[in-house]
Amino acid sequence: MDLPELKRLERRDLDMLLSWSDGTEHKITYDDLRHACPCARCAPQRNDEESSKILRRTVENLPQEKPTVRPVGNYALAFEWKNGCSAGIHRFERIWRLGEKQDPDNGKAYVHGAW
Protein backbone atom coordinates (compact mmCIF):
# COMPACT_ATOMS: atom_id res chain seq x y z
CA MET A 1 0.00 0.00 0.00
CA ASP A 2 1.05 3.61 -0.49
CA LEU A 3 1.86 5.05 2.90
CA PRO A 4 -0.37 8.01 3.83
CA GLU A 5 1.40 11.24 4.72
CA LEU A 6 1.87 12.06 8.39
CA LYS A 7 0.12 15.40 8.90
CA ARG A 8 0.17 15.97 12.65
CA LEU A 9 2.12 14.70 15.63
CA GLU A 10 0.98 15.70 19.10
CA ARG A 11 3.39 14.95 21.93
CA ARG A 12 1.64 14.12 25.20
CA ASP A 13 3.14 13.15 28.56
CA LEU A 14 3.47 9.41 27.91
CA ASP A 15 2.58 8.98 24.26
CA MET A 16 2.07 10.75 20.98
CA LEU A 17 -1.01 11.08 18.81
CA LEU A 18 -0.47 10.84 15.07
CA SER A 19 -2.85 11.94 12.31
CA TRP A 20 -2.28 10.67 8.77
CA SER A 21 -3.54 12.08 5.48
CA ASP A 22 -6.05 9.24 4.98
CA GLY A 23 -7.73 10.07 8.27
CA THR A 24 -6.07 7.29 10.28
CA GLU A 25 -5.14 8.20 13.85
CA HIS A 26 -2.56 6.35 15.90
CA LYS A 27 -1.45 6.49 19.48
CA ILE A 28 2.12 5.34 20.14
CA THR A 29 3.55 5.21 23.65
CA TYR A 30 7.07 6.53 24.12
CA ASP A 31 8.03 3.15 25.59
CA ASP A 32 6.93 1.40 22.37
CA LEU A 33 8.74 3.99 20.28
CA ARG A 34 11.98 3.73 22.24
CA HIS A 35 11.87 -0.05 22.28
CA ALA A 36 11.58 0.11 18.45
CA CYS A 37 14.68 2.30 18.07
CA PRO A 38 16.24 1.35 14.71
CA CYS A 39 19.81 2.38 15.60
CA ALA A 40 22.72 -0.03 15.30
CA ARG A 41 22.99 -0.40 19.07
CA CYS A 42 19.31 -0.94 19.97
CA ALA A 43 18.04 -2.81 16.89
CA PRO A 44 20.17 -5.98 17.25
CA GLN A 45 18.80 -6.40 20.77
CA ARG A 46 15.37 -7.09 19.27
CA ASN A 47 16.75 -10.00 17.23
CA ASP A 48 16.55 -12.20 20.30
CA GLU A 49 13.51 -12.50 22.56
CA GLU A 50 15.46 -12.36 25.84
CA SER A 51 17.56 -9.33 24.91
CA SER A 52 14.45 -7.68 23.48
CA LYS A 53 12.81 -8.01 26.93
CA ILE A 54 15.89 -6.49 28.54
CA LEU A 55 15.74 -3.57 26.09
CA ARG A 56 12.06 -3.14 26.92
CA ARG A 57 12.79 -3.04 30.66
CA THR A 58 15.62 -0.56 30.05
CA VAL A 59 13.43 1.91 28.19
CA GLU A 60 10.60 1.52 30.70
CA ASN A 61 13.00 2.43 33.50
CA LEU A 62 14.10 5.67 31.82
CA PRO A 63 12.69 8.91 33.25
CA GLN A 64 9.45 9.94 31.58
CA GLU A 65 9.95 12.82 29.20
CA LYS A 66 8.61 14.34 26.00
CA PRO A 67 11.08 14.06 23.12
CA THR A 68 12.16 16.76 20.72
CA VAL A 69 10.99 15.67 17.27
CA ARG A 70 13.09 16.49 14.21
CA PRO A 71 12.09 15.68 10.61
CA VAL A 72 14.85 13.86 8.72
CA GLY A 73 14.51 14.73 5.05
CA ASN A 74 11.08 13.76 3.75
CA TYR A 75 11.21 10.19 4.89
CA ALA A 76 11.74 9.90 8.63
CA LEU A 77 11.65 11.45 12.09
CA ALA A 78 14.34 11.58 14.74
CA PHE A 79 13.38 11.72 18.41
CA GLU A 80 15.81 13.37 20.79
CA TRP A 81 15.66 12.45 24.46
CA LYS A 82 17.52 13.85 27.44
CA ASN A 83 18.16 10.28 28.66
CA GLY A 84 18.73 7.09 26.72
CA CYS A 85 19.28 6.56 23.03
CA SER A 86 18.48 9.30 20.49
CA ALA A 87 20.41 7.82 17.59
CA GLY A 88 17.60 6.09 15.72
CA ILE A 89 16.10 7.51 12.54
CA HIS A 90 12.51 6.27 12.39
CA ARG A 91 11.24 5.95 8.83
CA PHE A 92 7.55 6.81 8.42
CA GLU A 93 6.88 3.19 7.41
CA ARG A 94 8.18 2.06 10.82
CA ILE A 95 6.12 4.65 12.66
CA TRP A 96 3.01 3.55 10.74
CA ARG A 97 3.64 -0.10 11.61
CA LEU A 98 4.10 0.83 15.28
CA GLY A 99 0.79 2.71 15.17
CA GLU A 100 -0.86 -0.34 13.62
CA LYS A 101 0.59 -2.48 16.44
CA GLN A 102 2.68 -4.42 13.94
CA ASP A 103 6.32 -5.43 14.22
CA PRO A 104 8.25 -2.28 13.20
CA ASP A 105 11.12 -4.46 11.97
CA ASN A 106 8.65 -6.30 9.73
CA GLY A 107 10.05 -9.63 10.86
CA LYS A 108 13.54 -8.86 9.60
CA ALA A 109 16.44 -9.40 11.96
CA TYR A 110 18.87 -6.48 12.13
CA VAL A 111 22.16 -7.04 10.34
CA HIS A 112 25.01 -4.64 10.97
CA GLY A 113 25.93 -2.67 7.91
CA ALA A 114 22.53 -3.11 6.26
CA TRP A 115 20.62 0.10 5.89
22 lies in the site for other proteins, by CB under 8 A: no
Q: H helices of 1-115, where?
A: 30-35, 49-60, 92-99
Range in contact with other proteins (rule: CB under 8 A) among 6-14, 41-49, 56-64, 105-113: 6-14
Range in contact with other proteins (rule: CB under 8 A) among 1-9, 26-34, 42-50, 102-110: 1-9
Minimum distance of other proteins from residue 52's CB (angstroms): 26
95 lies in the site for other proteins, by CB under 8 A: no
- Single-letter code of the amino acid located at 68: T
39 lies in the site for other proteins, by CB under 8 A: no
* Sequence-distant (≥ 6) Cβ neighbours of residue 1 within 8 angstroms: none
- Single-letter code of the amino acid located at 78: A
- Single-letter code of the amino acid located at 81: W
25 lies in the site for other proteins, by CB under 8 A: no
- Residue length of the chain: 115
